[in-house]
Structure formats: structure tokens, C-alpha cells
Amino acid sequence: MNPSPFQVTSRLVKDVAVVYPQGYLNNLAGEGLVSECSRYARTGIKKVVVNFGKTDLINSIGISLLLHVMEELQAVEGTLCFTDMSKVQVDIFEMLGLSKFFLFFPDEDRALQFLNVRER
């Protein structure tokens, strides 16, 4: 685990926003992630997939910000999916008793499939 500076990118796949946080997900970075998700929510996008494939480390502040994203989406009856998490990241959610509040998928395709979206 050698965290790099955080950045967040995203793309829209039909009615699903796929967000790619990269690097170390802490307070500053987490705010960027929250605002990216909120930006989509404001435009009526209710389905969000967060792909953690390039996220090195999520600290507890990052986790609390992910909970805010979840809350925001729940308020509009939206869905939040997590994909491509490392074993350690999944375990951390498990240890904190939070795994029951999120949907986890091994990869982005399976999350999109769950959300009834085909890319092509």
C-alpha cells in the first residue's frame, strides 16, 4: 500500500454514474468524492457505482464520507454500489459492521448488470 495523491474521475453509463476515486481516500479527497456524487444526484442520477480499483487506502474519515453519499442517495431512493475493492478494504467495512449497508460487487460489469445497464 503506497498511496498516491487523490483524484476523482467519473463517467456516465446510461443512467448510472461510475465514479473512480484514485489514491488515498481521506477527508480532503473524500469531500471531492462526495461532491462528484452530489453533482450527479442533482441532475437526477440515482444510481452510483464507485469503482475502488485505483484507491489505495480508505481511512475512517473516508468511510464516514461514503456513508454521507449513501445517505444522500437513500434520500432520493437511489442505489450505491461498490466495486473492485481489495480484500482489506472489504474486511474493513465488515469489521466496522457496515457491510450490510452497501452493495459490493467484484467488478464494475457485475454492478452495472445488477443495475440493469448494458454498456453496448
Partner 1 sequence: MPLHGIPAKEYLNREDELAYLRRLADPGADALALNVLLVGARGAGKTELLKQLYQRLFWEGQQVVPFYYSFKTAALKSTTFARDYFSRFIRQYLAFLRKEPLLIDASGTPLHRLMPLISSLGLNWMAEGIDNFQENAGQGDIYGQVFSAISAPAGAAQRGGRPILVMLDDFTTAEELHEARRGDASGLTSLFEESMKSSLCPHIITGSPASRLEAIFSDPSLYKGTERLRLPPLPEDIAHDLFVSLLGKEIACDRGAALGLMRRLRGNPLYIRNIARSLRKTGKKALTERDLSECYGAEVSEGDTAFYWSSVFNDCIREKGLKRPVLRLLMHRLSRGECDGTERLSQVLGMREGDMGKALDVLDAFDPGQDGDPVFADYLRSRYLREVEERSARDIQACLREEYGAAPDPSVFEMVIPMGDQAELVAARAVDQIGKNIRLEPDFLNYIQMALVECCINATEHSGSYEKKIYLKFITSPQRLEIVIESSGRPFSPDLLQEVPVEQKLAAGRKRGWGFTLMRKIMDEVRVERIHDRTRVTLIKNINRSEVRK
Name the residues that contact partner 1, by CB under 8 A.
Answer: 1-3, 24, 26, 28, 57, 59-61, 63-64, 67-68, 71, 86-88, 91-92, 95-98, 101
Give me the residues paired with residue 55 across strands.
23
Give me the residues paired with residue 17 across strands.
12, 48
CB 61 within 8 A of CB 91: no
Give me the residues paired with residue 82 across strands.
50, 104
Strands 47-51 and 16-25: parallel
CB of 3 to partner 1, least distance (A): 5
Nearer to partner 1, 79 or 99 (CB): 99
CB of 47 to partner 1, least distance (A): 21
Nearer to partner 1, 85 or 112 (CB): 85
